[in-house]
Chains A and B, each alone.
Chain A
Amino acid sequence: MSALAAALRKDLLLQWRTRAQVVAVFAFGAAALLLFSFAVGPDAGVLREHAAGFLWLGLLLSSTLTLAESFHAEAEHRALEGLLLLPASARALYYAKALANTLALAALGAGLVPVMVVLYDAATPRVPALLGIILLGSAGLSAPGTLYAAMTSQARARQTLLPLLLFPLVVPVLLAAVKATALLIHGDPMEQLRSWTLLLVCFDVIHWSLCGLLFERVVED
């Protein structure tokens, strides 16, 4: 537990020191939402109908930048290897990094919600529930994203490899998150939100368990 706390403290400190990057990633996500609205056209009904999908696509595209950057600092002078030799538990290092990435993605998602509301007129009175779905969806993206970011951090084509590996794996998480968000925006007459949220939680549990087990194999020689 103390190793996890030490690793989390390190990851949050690194994120704070590189906070200028967060502004750039947010601008990228907001620009993606703006471009989606251009692609669909001025029909307010269509924009509102697809708002949830656009929000999650914006977050997914931005997440590759956040996730790749989170391992740049670890790979630059082999700092992660240095921690493993202390020895720090690979599992603690993984869960701390995945947790820090979840918080960063959730903050980014929360920041994109007002952009979505303004661009697509897609407000919801259930803001805490929406933030909860964003947190769960971010956890579902960051668990495999952290693993794959570690795998690709030393590769030359890492900017291409990370989305290629990550996107197919997070499709179920994305579907559940989009559906739950859409229900919050458009209303939930059939009371499906609970089922989609439960599905999202299940995928989160699977991803966090499996990726935590696999991380040591990825980072050890």
Chain B
Amino acid sequence: MTENQGAWAVEASGLGRRYGRRWALAEVSLSVRRAARLLVTGRNGSGKSTLLRVLATAARADRGSARVAGYDIRAERTEVRRRIALLDHHSFLYEALSARENLKVAAGFLGPGAEARVPDLLGRVGLAGRADDPVSSFSAGMRKRLALARALLQPAEVYLLDEPYGELDPPGFRLLEAALDELTARGATVLLASHLLERGRERCDEAIVLEEGRLAWQGPAAELREPGAAP
């Protein structure tokens, strides 16, 4: 086992991110085992999205340190990016391009073989029939499916999924959960930020709760309770 293939997919220590004078993320430390699924939950504005964006190197950490897939998010940003896939609030899609073209654009940067997977992924997310329609004609749910297909196109070790259930319909929930099972089966680690505690408990091994940018609770996902519920 090499230096970068330890037991932890994510190790963060005192991680902080500031927007103006407000710390959106403050002193968060956590470790996530490889091939585990971590539920990241908390109220609106608690720092869930910021945590995922910092780990994905989409936002710089103003404090603390973290290693993702064995690489430092500050010093080895490109190496981290090669090993993560981020499903963000922003879809990363081009409105003027079709679903197929959007995936092909991403595939163009992912090396040989990625483009061949595009038709299969479009079928898996239920967009094969609309593959050549521009994204500007898509509903919010269809955009979410396409953004999910874009994330799945990346052969990542760590998937950072921010509110992946948002805007999806029940069939969309099922295809997302099938994708999660597949990712775990091939050894990928998933960090899933969501408000849906019931689904999170069922689908994740571990959980953390953030409050005002700080880690308020962590433990097995099965022990997670609704805010205000009796322990």
Contacts and interface: CB of A to CB of B under 8 A. Distances in A.
Interface residues of A, number: 25
Contacts of B96: 14, 17-18, 73
B157 interface: no
B85 to A, nearest CB: 8
B92 A73 contact: no
Contact of B92 (A7, A77, A87, A221): A77
A85 B56 CA distance: 8
A84 B92 CA distance: 10
B109 A221 contact: no
A87 B106 contact: no
A14 B97 contact: yes
Interface in A1-37: 2-3, 5-7, 9-10, 13-14, 17-18
A88 interface: yes
Q: Most chain-B CB neighbours within 10 Å: which of A82, A88, A221?
A: A82
Contacts of B97: 13-14, 17
Contacts, number: 75
Contacts of B81: 84-87
Given A85-B56, A85-B58, A85-B84, A79 B92 contact: yes
A49 interface: no
B205 interface: no
A14 B58 contact: no
Contact of A6 (B77, B90, B108, B134): B108
A5 to B, nearest CB: 8
B154 interface: yes
A83 interface: yes
A18 B94 CA distance: 11
Contact of B86 (A76, A79, A85): A85
A83 B109 contact: yes
A81 interface: yes
A86 B90 contact: no
B29 interface: no
Given A83-B109, A85-B86, A86-B154, A77 B95 contact: yes
Contacts of B95: 73, 76-77
Given A85-B57, A86-B81, A87-B82, A78 B109 contact: no
B102 to A, nearest CB: 9
Given A73-B96, A85-B81, A86-B81, A10 B88 contact: no
B108 A73 contact: no
Given A82-B92, A83-B109, A13 B56 contact: no
A104 B97 CA distance: 19
B184 interface: no
Nearest to A84: B81
A195 B171 CA distance: 67
Interface string A62-89: 0000000000010011110111111110
A79 B109 contact: no
Nearest to B102: A79
Contact of A86 (B59, B60, B106): B106
B109 to A, nearest CB: 4
13 contacts: A5-B108, A6-B109, A7-B109, A13-B101, A77-B90, A79-B93, A81-B90, A82-B93, A82-B106, A85-B58, A85-B92, A87-B81, A221-B60
Given A17-B134, A79-B92, 7 more contacts: A10-B105, A14-B94, A14-B96, A76-B95, A77-B90, A85-B57, A86-B106
